[in-house]
Amino acid sequence: MAEATFQKSTIREYFESIVVAVILALFVRTFVFQAFKIPTGSMKPNLLVGDHLLVNKFVFAPTASSLERTLLPMRPIERGDVIVFKFPEEPERDFIKRVIGLPGDTLELKNQTIHINGMPLLEPYAHYLYAPISDLPADSFDLRRKYGPVTVPEGHYFMMGDNRDDSQDSRFWGFLPASYVKGRALFIYWSFDTPDDGSATTSFLGVRWDRLLHQIH
């Protein structure tokens, strides 16, 4: 009888451990971290197609008290953050872009230079496929070079891809509601070169070893 009781206790301990592990994994997946794969070249050259990222879903979570803000690693969204969010036009899809305009900012794009509240924004991360046009017409409708001025509403953000000439971002679909933000991109945990034809490959020759654990700025 004692041996049978011992076996039941051991089985129960294993079962409880598995259940706790599953619950913790689901909690982490739901509330703390999320994996995300770069599907397009809109963030090149900083993020490449085939990069796999870890996204911190906890850092922008609302806090109920000043004590929580002091003790927990949370902070407001800042200009320059690279974040994953629900695409406003298709909320079931996730997008990744960089925060350029904060609530209340007046933003204007003048021939590849972003101006925030009348001041040019230094953007070492921005990449352009085409050179600026010195004599850009005043009535130009090229959103890659001329946009605004617009004022970012409260509770919204203006998002742009680093690959400015090949990015569907706030210039085309408008402001991002804060409630659509999912988290901040942390680092690349895996990166695999994707062939030009889009086909998958399992060869380790395609692994971009130099990009592994690369922190995202």
Contact 132, 145 (CB under 8 A): yes
> Using CA atoms, how far apart are residues 188 and 50, in angstroms rounded to an integer?
10
At 55 the pLDDT is 93
Percent of the chain past pLDDT 90, that is, above it, reads 58
Options 42, 167, 170, 191, the catalytic residue? 42
Contact 143, 55 (CB under 8 A): no
Whether omega for the bond prior to residue 45 falls within 30 degrees of 0, making it cis, is yes
In three-state secondary structure terms, 52 is: strand
CA angle 28–86–89, rounded 5-degree value: 160
Q: Radius of gyration of the chain from Cα atoms?
A: 22
Burial pattern 80-119, b for ≥16 Cβ within 10 A else e, equals ebbbbbbebeeeeebbbbbbbbbeebebbbeebebbbeee
In three-state secondary structure terms, 201 is: coil
In three-state secondary structure terms, 17 is: helix
Q: Name the most confidently modeled range: 4-8, 144-148, 172-176, 189-193.
A: 172-176
At 49 the pLDDT is 94
**pTM listed for this prediction:** 0.78
pLDDT at 92 over 70: yes
Mean pLDDT of 2-8: 52
Which pLDDT band holds residue 22 (cuts at 50, 70, 90)?
Answer: very low
Q: Where are the domains of the chain?
A: 2-215
**Residue 146 among the catalytic residues:** no
At 65 the pLDDT is 56
E strand or H helix at 181 = strand 181-191
The CATH classification of domain 2-215, taken from the options 2.10.109.10, 3.90.1200.10, 1.10.287.3510, 3.20.20.70: 2.10.109.10
pLDDT at 88 over 90: yes
Options 37, 44, 66, 97, the catalytic residue? 97
Contact 111, 164 (CB under 8 A): no
User: CA-CA distances (angstroms) from residue 154 to 35, 105, 132, 192?
Assistant: 29, 9, 32, 39
Report residue 111: phi and psi, to 5°: 50, 55
At 23 the pLDDT is 45
Mean pLDDT of 180-201: 79
**Residue 42 among the catalytic residues:** yes
Q: Which of 3-17, 57-71, 94-108 has the lowest mean pLDDT?
A: 3-17
At 129 the pLDDT is 87
Which pLDDT band holds residue 158 (cuts at 50, 70, 90)?
Answer: very high
pLDDT in tens, 40-74: 999 999 999 999 999 998 888 665 556 555 555 67
> Using CA atoms, how far apart are residues 215 and 217, in angstroms rounded to an integer?
7
